[in-house]
Chain A
Amino acid sequence: MVTGAKTSVNTTAKKPVMTDLKGQTLLTLRSLNEENPASLETYIKLGGYAQLKRIVTEKVKATDIITQIKTSNLRGRGGAGFPTGLKWSFMPRYYDGTKYLVCNTDEGEPGTFKDRDIIRYNPHQLIEGMAIAAYTLGARVGYNYIHGEIWQDYDIFEAALHEAKAAGYLGENLFGSNFSFDLYAVHGYGAYICGEETALIESIEGKKGQPRFKPPFPASYGVFGKPTNVNNTESYTSIPWILQHGGQAFADLGVPNSGGTKLFSISGHVEKPGNYEVKMGMPFADLLALAGGIWKGRQLKAVIPGGPSTAVMTAEMVQNATMDYDGLSKAGSSLGAGSMIVMDDTTCMVKTLKRLSYFFYEESCGQCTPCREGTGWVYRVISRIVDGKGKMEDLDLLTDVSNNISGRTICALGDAAATPVLSFIKHFRPEFEYYITHGKSMVDGR
């Protein structure tokens, strides 16, 4: 958290090495073409903070802003895809006390690394987006909760906070108005569960990161029990653009139900893994091509389109899908946070599932019974299968146990943990059966 001015921090990230931006539509990463992308100077040059200044000085009505966001079809980029405009309308208008704004930069899910690039290369757009949100929602104080293992980026963001404050974009009475907004950075310590908004709030309060039972939702009982709006980094970062070009322009970038652009973190067996910002609704094949296609001339086997909490898809399922909320849901999975993990034909799905289930087993907060007990059970059974001691009944058992976790827990980590198990077994059952019968992998023979 900012406690005093920092002096010796490396404040600016240099232009990224991988700059092949062809085919991308830079919106949340719009500074990426510049020499010093993260600097205030660059951002101002690109028209930054103009929207904040406009709405504050012109006293634009909050309801008008929310209408624009609703029109834009911006849906939460943290994974659940909840319409942002609608979420903002839940914040109590009149409240006797401090309201809070929280940005979720915790991205702890394997394969997710998009928000990190936003705070690294375009922190001011996030700050402007949050300030606009604060103005709209009447929040006096904001926190950006940043994943615990990205210190350098944390420092960059914090330096940007100082810059913005010094330049009069944060703090008291902005632009001579009576609107004041203080924004702080908070760092986590690397717990995936702290990305869940209520666990994140507990963590901001200095407590153990453990989800709260909802309702009440943060809009009525958030940080320190006060009304709080939580959005993902990418969601807030889209706001200045929407206000500049209008909600309709944002909606038009994408497809129905999915407005704007989306940052995809592409990892796995592709030639050029990395973040790609493209229009919503881009065909999967085009996106894969942007990332250089499957590496080493191999064949596509499977894709996890939105991070491990989304269902795995076979090559066949994903081939003709479009990359947007409806497109992926029609194809049998979901967009999630846009963390696309690509697997080639050398991938053993049994061992992959073991690794994924280990993640959820380790990251469960342990609060509620089905997730605490179930994730360990699942992981142990899959490990046993990988050790060659599987039984055919185990597949039904795994399915059943996962179904018993799903929908019965306090937070969505339970569902997230069940999804890979259910989808892997559903789509790659023969591989699992082979492993159990032969005690070794069908793919790599080991």
Chain B
Amino acid sequence: MLHIEIDGKPLEVEHGSTIIDAADKVGIAIPRFCYHKKLSVAANCRMCLVQVEKFNKPLPACATPVADGMKIFTRSKAAVEAQKSVMEFLLINHPLDCPICDQGGECDLQDIAVAYGASGSRYAEEKRVVLNKNIGPLISTDMTRCIQCTRCVRFLKEVGGMQELGLVGRGEHAEITAYVDKSVNSELSGNIIDLCPVGALTNKPFRYSARSWELTRRPSIAPHDGLGSHIEVHVKDNKVMRVLPREKESINECWLSDRDRYSYVGLNSPDRLKVPMIKHNGTWVETDWKTALEFAAGQIKDITNQHGADSLGVLASPNSTMEEGYLIKQLANGLGCGNVDYRLRQTDFRLDGKRVGIPWMGCNIQEIEELDRILIIGSNLRNEHPLLAQRFRKAVANGAELSVVSPLDNDPLMKVAHKVIVRPNDMVNVLGQILKAMSGLQRLSLCLPPSLNALLETITVRPNTQAMAESLAGLAGPDGLVDLVAPKVGLFIGNMALSDPRFTEMYSMMEAIGGICGAKGGILPAAANSTGMHFMGVMPNATGMHARAMLEVPRKAYLLLNVEPELDCQHAALAKAAMAQAECVVALTAYKSEALENADVLLPIAPFTETSGTFMSMEGRVQSFSAVTKPLAECRPAWKVLRVLANTLGLDGFDFDSSEAVKNAIFKGEKPSTVVWRNLNNNLKELVEIEVNIKSDGLQRIGEVPQYESDPIVRRSVPLQKTKYNIRPMARMRAEQMAQLDLVEGDIVLATQDKGSAVLQVKLDNHVAMGCIRIAASHEQTIGLGDLMGDITIEKTSKELYKPYETTMLKVVA
């Protein structure tokens, strides 16, 4: 510990901290622009100059390490003079167009100028003008306002993983710009708006729609991926105007993914369902709640009375709250129906009943940073968990070795030490090879169950998997210096694997590998409340049907919670057909959409901003939130709708008067964290029968869900749909694959899967494993197709059959 003094205040600080760290810890304010605790130190703005005893020049507090006995003065005459002069310099070329600047009222430059600057400027010369740049649909630029602090540059490089902005030119001509004709494409790009201390980078969709002081700020939880980011929703006149991160070091730090930041636009979509609707002779009519609920209850009752309770299928989205999930399960069970499931994008349910506890990510989010060795299986991390990917990036920057086994070779924007890019069935074999190599390395094969050992006999370890195994065992790689004695290892399995019919094999292998090397890890659940849904058992009971079976063996009636069947289910064509044949489909939904054309009753529910509720994140964190606005029009919180529906159905035990009451019922009055920690467990009770040499000669579909198509809200965010991630689904394949199929880029093909097909354009994509065709899912153009991951055939077809896709949503808005 070092002893220093700041402004006469004696302090003890850690060795290696800077003056600004020391001052921040005790709340002594030092003005700054370029410094940010999460970014590297640039020391370029010079706003943080302070006086240090024995130095004749003022020193930048952000870049000056403290030394024992240092006496620092932040408000002495010399310090104030230096700060004032820097402030003056910063303002001479600044346009001072605060009245028309979106940053006005929340601008560091304004605030610091008032606190540390002079009242007037001595600058009387011409001011510099910098041309604005178009860096995409999410961020607008006013580059004349830029003070060249390079926070945006450093963020994209250090946190985003790719330097998409840079300071080009010299001196006064230095300006921030993107690559020629390129936009900023990072899926974390919006953070540079928060980082920009001036109004140079502002929120494009929000621009000119409100002043910061008109907004009411309310806390909430991000509703898309399983990270559970803390957000602050800004509301004006009962409308969500924008979303910002709420700092939570252990979850989202001070960042937010673009999906969490910009999806709110979907809340204000013209698609919103405002009143209950009933289909009468094929046409939709608006009605009141009472009629709608009575109609829905009547239908459900009639059908279940007539055909038995299991003629009903209940599908709930994992983006729904715990309260909603709990009630819908109670409702189904109350009717005697066990066909309930939240696992809409899963196809392999062989692990049901074999798990010891609730599957989760197996460690907490912060622990990722400390890992030494990481294996990621079947995940396009930046697409599935854009912000979580950044934690892995930090781990790798800290020296962790990352290995990847996947059918896709997308750049995670971090160094990958080892990778095997193969078709999904071969992934199982590859994992088996790693397991075999590891058990050899650690002489631990005896610990494996005999059945597994027998399976491994049939496998030959290749050099690349041997290298992965050695990496996971902590052995030094080619450029490593020393072997790690007890490496912290993390194994994670992602969305693509979760949707794969060979998930059980992959998971079992991962478990076994983890067992050998003492790894942490588990699944990276896809949605905001996947873990919560599992926790409450929003899944079939012993005799019930899982999500896939409910579609394969169609039900007479369906109750849907927050689901657009053909976009949210694993098998789009099956989902569509099942809904079409049903006698009655009751949909609790926030949107009216074509995907619900086969429904019979639409009940307008409140999205997460208009209701209270709880999500359980991938690390098992139970996070409740309140509504930030009143429900739109006739919309109602789903928990209330489910309560009334249950009552109307004559079921008992639904007398909840608040979402908290439902939450209490879920946790039976106990402290949620206690209950959760007791139940999270990735282990399997017993080994499931698996196969490691899965022969599959046919082509495999890789049906990724694009990140801006993942759920009904984000699908309707126009700015996100305008980003380059809104790529029209195409039949993507690598060059060798194209040659093998005798295709060229631009050809039109008919892609056929079990029970469905789509006409698509061929596109070159060398990130796709040989033997695979990558076709995005959750999209109007591919709702004719089947399984996300599974067999597919491709044949060339006539160009006339191809209908260029135009999104209807953008038309509505334009």
Contacts and interface: CB of A to CB of B under 8 A. Distances in A.
Interface of A: 191, 193, 208, 210, 213, 361-377, 380-381, 384, 397, 404, 407-410
Contacts of B93: 373, 376
Interface stretch (B36-44, B178-186, B592-600, B651-659): B36-44
B167 A208 contact: yes
A373 B125 contact: no
B46 A363 contact: no
A369 B170 contact: no
17 contacts: A364-B170, A365-B170, A366-B169, A366-B171, A367-B42, A368-B43, A368-B45, A369-B45, A370-B85, A370-B86, A372-B174, A376-B171, A377-B123, A381-B125, A397-B122, A404-B89, A409-B46
Given A369-B46, A408-B82, A408-B86, A380 B125 contact: yes
A100 B578 CA distance: 70
Interface string B30-74: 000000000001111111010000001110100100000000000
Pick from A210, A376, A381, A407 the residue with the most CB of B within 10 Å: A376
B58 A410 contact: no
B171 A365 contact: yes
A398 B242 CA distance: 46
Contacts of B56: 407
A364 B172 contact: yes
Contacts of A372: 89, 148, 171-172, 174
Main secondary structure of the interface of B (DSSP, over half): loop
B46 A373 contact: no
Nearest to B166: A208
A362 B171 contact: yes
A407 B58 contact: yes
A367 B85 contact: no
B9 interface: no
Contacts of B166: 208
Interface of B: 41-47, 49, 56-58, 60, 63, 82, 85-86, 88-90, 92-93, 122-123, 125-126, 128, 147-148, 166-174
Contacts of A381: 125
B499 to A, nearest CB: 42
B125 A375 contact: no
Contact of A369 (B122, B128, B147, B167): B147
Contacts of B45: 368-369
Given A366-B172, A367-B174, A404-B89, A377 B44 contact: no
Contacts of A361: 171-172
Given A362-B171, A368-B46, A377 B92 contact: yes
Contacts of A377: 89, 92, 123, 125
B148 A366 contact: yes
Contact of B89 (A208, A210, A366, A374): A374
Pick from A369, A380, A381, A408 the residue with the most CB of B within 10 Å: A369
Contact of A213 (B58, B63, B125, B170): B63
Contacts of A374: 89
A213 B43 contact: yes
Nearest to A373: B89
A369 B44 contact: yes
B171 A404 contact: no
Main secondary structure of the interface of A (DSSP, over half): helix
A373 B42 contact: no
B63 A369 contact: no
A142 B45 CA distance: 33
Given A208-B167, A408-B86, 7 more contacts: A366-B170, A367-B148, A368-B43, A368-B45, A368-B46, A408-B46, A408-B58
Contact of A370 (B46, B125, B171): B46
Given A369-B86, A407-B58, A380 B43 contact: no
A358 to B, nearest CB: 11
B38 to A, nearest CB: 18
Contacts of A366: 148, 167, 169-174
Contacts of B49: 408
Contacts, number: 97
Given A369-B45, A376-B172, A408 B85 contact: yes
Nearest to B173: A366
Nearest to B150: A367
A191 B170 CA distance: 9
Pick from A364, A370, A372, A381 the residue with the most CB of B within 10 Å: A372
Nearest to B33: A369
The 10 closest A-B pairs by CB, nearest first: A366-B174, A404-B85, A364-B171, A373-B89, A380-B125, A407-B57, A213-B43, A376-B172, A366-B171, A368-B44
Pick from B128, B168, B174 the residue with the most CB of A within 10 Å: B174
A369 B174 CA distance: 11
Pick from A361, A375, A384, A408 the residue with the most CB of B within 10 Å: A408
Contacts of B169: 366
Nearest to A362: B171
Pick from B43, B58, B126 the residue with the most CB of A within 10 Å: B43
Nearest to B41: A213
A278 to B, nearest CB: 34
Pick from A366, A368, A373, A410 the residue with the most CB of B within 10 Å: A373
A371 B172 CA distance: 9
Contacts of B89: 369-370, 372-374, 377, 404
Contacts of B172: 361, 364, 366, 372-373, 375-376
A56 B795 CA distance: 72
A365 to B, nearest CB: 6
A365 B167 CA distance: 10
Nearest to B45: A369
A367 B167 CA distance: 9
Contacts of A373: 89-90, 92-93, 172
A410 B44 contact: yes
A409 B47 CA distance: 11
A408 B86 CA distance: 9
B170 A404 contact: no
A268 B173 CA distance: 30
Pick from B45, B60, B167, B171 the residue with the most CB of A within 10 Å: B171
Contacts of B170: 191, 193, 362-366
Contacts of B147: 369
Given A372-B148, A373-B89, A376-B128, A410 B43 contact: yes
B39 to A, nearest CB: 14
Contacts of A369: 44-47, 86, 89-90, 147-148
A114 B167 CA distance: 33
Pick from A363, A365, A370, A409 the residue with the most CB of B within 10 Å: A370
A371 B89 CA distance: 9
A243 to B, nearest CB: 37
A242 to B, nearest CB: 33
A220 to B, nearest CB: 13
Given A213-B42, A368-B44, A375 B171 contact: yes
A407 B126 CA distance: 26
B59 to A, nearest CB: 10
Contacts of A367: 42, 44, 148, 167, 174
A371 B47 CA distance: 13
A369 B147 CA distance: 8
A368 B46 CA distance: 7
Contacts of B88: 404
A290 to B, nearest CB: 37
Contacts of B167: 208, 210, 366-367
Contacts of A408: 46, 49, 57-58, 82, 85-86
A91 B618 CA distance: 49
Contacts of B57: 407-408
A366 B93 CA distance: 13
B582 to A, nearest CB: 62
A411 B86 CA distance: 16
A193 B92 CA distance: 23
A380 B44 contact: no
Contacts of A208: 166-168
Nearest to A380: B125
